[in-house]
Amino acid sequence: MVLGIRLLNVQEYHRMAEIGIFHPEERVELIAGQLIRMSAKGTAHESAITRTERLFRQRLGEQVLLRLQSPVQLDDYSEPEPDIAVVMPNPLDYDDHHPTASEVFLMIEIADSSLKYDREVKAPAYAQSGIVDYWVLDVNARKLHIYRLPSHIKFA
């Protein structure tokens, strides 16, 4: 007998957070209707975020809004928290909603222990949502993986 898996939508995910189902220190994100535990942040990971943010702020200034480890709503079933999202400026700084895929210029994940997940799970999810530029910075190998245009990402 095959059991069906019930997927969560973004509204249900938000409600779960509001009523305290998640521990305050628990790091999870919603990808394709499933709750995914996020890996712990290491020193190299945090340092890479800081350096990357600094570089983007120096180069782009106020032309874009940089969001660090903040939600982006890809669709009704996915709301990841990329390490860096380069998004369109918003007069309210997204006070009334999380940025959506159409408001994203670039998503960046910093990978130390999450490289496989970032490349094999997040890349297709981002592509399916219309994210046209997605980078994975592998801090261990000191390598940048660039995924550009959704049609170039192979799905399993």
What does the pLDDT look like over 113-151, one tens digit per residue? 899 999 999 999 999 999 999 999 999 999 999 999 865
| pLDDT for the residue 156 | 42
Question: Does residue 154 carry a pLDDT above 70?
Answer: no
Prediction pTM value? 0.88
- Rounded Cα gap, residues 39 and 65, in angstroms: 25
At residue 39, the 3 state secondary structure works out as coil
Cβ atoms < 10 Å from Cβ of 69: 15
110: buried, middle or exposed (CB in 10 Å: 19+, 13-18, 0-12)?
A: buried
Q: What is the pLDDT of residues 36-93, one digit of tens each?
A: 998 877 889 999 999 999 999 999 999 999 999 999 999 999 999 999 999 999 999 9
What's the token pair of residue 69? 């480890």
Which of these, 83, 156, 79, lies nearest to 118 by C-alpha position? 83
Strand partners, 144: 137
Mean pLDDT over residues 6-28, rounded?
A: 94
Listed residue (99, 73, 69, 67) closest to 10, CA to CA: 73
What pLDDT does residue 85 have? 98
Residues whose CB is less than 8 angstroms from the CB of residue 33 and which lie 6 or more positions away in sequence, other chains included? 7, 8, 9, 77, 78
Over range 9-23, report the average pLDDT: 95
